[in-house]
Amino acid sequence: MHESQCPASIDELSRTIPIFPLNGVLLLPRGLLPLNIFEPRYLAMTRAALDGAKLIGMIQPTQSEGLPGQSPRNGADLYTTGCVGKIVSATESDDGRILLTLRGLCRFQVARELEAGTAYRQVEADYAEYAADMTAAQDGLCERDRLIHALRAYCARHNLPADWDSITAVNDDLLVHSLAMICPFSAGEKQALLEAPDFKARAAMLVSLLEMALLDGSILPRGAKPN
């Protein structure tokens, strides 16, 4: 699909958005989230989004159900804070799935859930509190050396490969948001990262979570067992 320009301010974001509840999945501004859509209700949601503003709101259920990345039962209680993303690529597979990538734009508060009459849920999103999300954080707001040190120790402990040239070259905003999204934190920890008041607080929380993981082994690669 052709990628159109992403909105530059909250004034360009739709107030009515479909939401995709997933346990343990985090989307942050400027982060890229690949998704494999196969449930009928979310296939309908994706097709409607592609025909419209190409926006989907990612949000977590308040109660963890099943494995990370699984959608909750329809009607499950949700957190009131999520992040809207724009579909920047979408491909339909031969078996009917849609493989798409969302680029995070801005966090939102759920002002109210709508009686939309669709199989998927829709909300009225309030972006006012998060207007600053639309602009990348400047470098120097995180303890980058401490973050890289904690990440190196974590990867070494669990024998995880890492492209250190790319990691050290990327700016602070992309580094912090990408790591927060891909590290296998608990659903509650991911929600705390999402709800951090600003970039500096999120970066500090990320460093703390990595350092705590090194002490207690609480964060492990999917499928790995503690030493």
Residue type at 17 in one-letter notation = I
**Contact call for residues 89 and 1 (beta carbons, < 8 A):** yes
Q: Report residue 200: phi and psi, to 5°.
A: -60, -45
Q: Are 185 and 209 in contact (CB under 8 A)?
A: yes
Q: How many CB atoms lie within 10 A of CB 117?
A: 6
Task: Compute, in degrees rounded to 10, the torsion defined by CA atoms 197, 198, 199, 205.
Answer: -30
Instruction: Please give the pLDDT value at position 138.
Output: 93
What pLDDT score does 66 carry?
A: 56
Distance between first and last Cα of the chain: 45
Identify the pLDDT of residue 213.
84
- Say what the pLDDT of residue 221 is: 43
In whole angstroms, what is the distance from residue 11 CA to residue 15 CA? 9
Nearby residues of 210 by Cβ (< 8 Å), 6 or more positions away = 147, 150, 151, 154, 183, 219
pTM: 0.88
Mean pLDDT by 10 residues, the chain (227 residues): 75 97 95 96 97 97 67 80 97 95 97 93 97 94 94 85 90 95 91 97 95 69 42
Any idea how long the chain is? 227
Retrieve residue 167's tokens: 């990691």
Segment 127-173, tens digit of pLDDT? 999 999 999 999 999 999 999 999 999 888 878 888 999 998 999 99
Contact (CB, 8 A) for 161 and 174: no
Amino acid, single-letter form, for residue 175? L
Given phi > 0 = left and psi -120 to 50 = alpha, else beta, which region is 159?
Answer: left
